[in-house]
Amino acid sequence: MYRPAPMNIPPDYGKIKFSKEEMRHILFSVVVLTIAFTLAFSGIILGERHIIGISTAEYLGFYLLVSFVAVLSGFLLHELAHKFVAQKNGAWAEFRSFPMGLAVALFFSVLGVLFAAPGAVYIQGMISKKQNGHISIAGPVTNLVLGTGFILIARVFGVNDLVGYGLYLVGSINLLLAVFNLLPVPPLDGYKVLRWNLPAYIVVMAAAIVMAAGVYTGWWF
């Protein structure tokens, strides 16, 4: 009777872990993106002023804080969602920054435009189509949930309130990223989700579009 040979499963299989190199890449990306978001949001280089009644230091401090939260939620948690699901499925997964993409982000931010390709989570291992679908959908769903949460809290304060306005900006960025990353174009997440499960793709994409449209048309306020 045939008996399969025993498999040697590594002790850290399925566990969440970070390498020192990965942490350096994450820190570098967060710092550069926060600077880029601050420049783009504030319009300070272009001489714009979106908020009156506060000092220049307070103005920059506000947008620096908003940008930091937007980067942590919109970018970092998106990538970590991919990483954690991949590692839970036994794959090697680490984030690596893309210096050229970060340089492009800084360039466009000076013009008041947000455009960035900061890096990605690289994955290696025996991953099925279903597992790859789960890994891919984790990022946009994270943005969708966070974006919805920030927008709902912003409604409590109102967009005319400084806190409400900041939450609105963070929520908007998350929802915009959810829609963008769900586009069915390789190498975006939407392409891999669509290949895995059409109904799941339709549900998540529809939810992201409705929420994003609600924000940018003022339905929710």
pLDDT digits (tens, 9 = 90+) for 36-55: 999 999 988 777 777 778 88
pLDDT digits (tens, 9 = 90+) for 107-164: 999 988 888 889 999 999 999 999 999 999 999 999 999 999 999 999 999 988 999 9
User: Which residue, among 213, 201, 140, has the nearest Cα to 174 in the 3D structure?
Assistant: 140
Question: Which residues form the domain of 221?
Answer: 129-221
For residues 40 and 117, membership in a common domain is answered with yes
In a domain, 7, yes or no: no
Token reading at 160: 């005319």
In a domain, 150, yes or no: yes
Neighbours of 76 (CB within 10 A): 16
Omega before residue 140 within 30° of 0, cis: no
In a domain, 143, yes or no: yes
Domain end among 127, 150, 168: 127
For residues 27 and 120, membership in a common domain is answered with yes
Q: Round the average pLDDT of the chain to a whole number and report it.
A: 91
For residues 42 and 88, membership in a common domain is answered with yes
Which residues, in sequence order, are bridge partners of residue 119? 97
Domain end among 78, 105, 127: 127
For residues 123 and 136, membership in a common domain is answered with no
Q: How confident is the model at residue 4 (pLDDT cuts 50, 70, 90)?
A: very low
The 8-class DSSP code of residue 4 comes to P
Q: What is the pLDDT of residue 2?
A: 38
For residues 117 and 176, membership in a common domain is answered with no
Q: Which letter, b or e, does each residue of 128-140 get, where b requires 16 or more Cβ atoms within 10 Å of its Cβ?
A: eeebbbbbbbbbb
pLDDT digits (tens, 9 = 90+) for 73-90: 999 999 999 999 999 999
Number of structural domains the chain divides into: 2
Q: What is the pTM assigned to this prediction?
A: 0.90
Is residue 21 flagged as an active site residue?
no
Looking at the chain, the whole-number percentage of residues with pLDDT higher than 70 is 93
Contact between 157 and 167 (Cβ < 8 Å): yes
Q: What is the mean pLDDT of residues 98-112?
A: 94
In a domain, 8, yes or no: no
Please identify which of the residues 21, 48, 79, 94 carries the catalytic annotation.
Answer: 79
